[in-house]
Structure 1
């Protein structure tokens, strides 16, 4: 197994400052006590959004991915342009009941209860190497479930890439066993 130490992509200082400067803290959203990391200002800035897309596309190309999986909902916004830029396919992973046709479902536990995500059958094949992309790695539950879906489809995991990792929620520790040596890259960590 490869080194499991924390990985943060060596993002050029100018790009790092551009990204950090466009992530807004929103206190008490969606509930009291939560500090929400709002990436909407980053997405609204074409220079920042392009820089983010380029860094994530570089990770995608380096990983040898043939497909990019984006996690609902902000992961879609990041993963789709990365797939275009890296010349790969894009496969959405959504909440139950949002995708037509036959789907694979994976449940996972939340702090109080459980939920599930789904992916269309046939979106990934055993020939695919998959990079999972999301905006934020928090507790790691959704990303871990997505990795399970990728493996159940027969595809190989190329890694996980996120814009922002919230260290205090220990999502990396939850995700590492699911990665089985594949890299987890966070562009920013707080």
Structure 2
């Protein structure tokens, strides 16, 4: 549980589901000045899949899948400043579902309170944003900017770690709505 919280809080990742259709909006030029603003977090999802390679190396067996879906966002203010700094204050609930191979799902939930700050860097060539926390636990690492419009930003992250014959694949996404 603490491992998933660590993953969710430090390297939020997943595939993103959004309720609105942002495709009608004109994309903005990615810059610190254009991304500056205070945002609500409207969606946050993370999935970690643990697989192990067979002894022959010809196939993979899924050992565990852990999914975290955040909801009940409690007045989160996620502020990106034009000077390359950010702050995040507020809270949310995360529902965690762990499904071991061949086992029954284990469901738990937790309230997460955030009070974090740090810096960010935009890479306009790769369309990424990299967060470097200086205080608190919320967001860290490089994220792909999937959508960037006047009203919404959707970022996603994928991280793959290999330890011996076990592979950990972590995917996540966050949807931000400009206030």
TM-score by length of 1: 0.28
Between structures 1 and 2, the one with greater strand share: 2
Between structures 1 and 2, the one with greater helix share: 1
Q: Which has the larger radius of gyration?
A: 2
TM-score by length of 2: 0.29
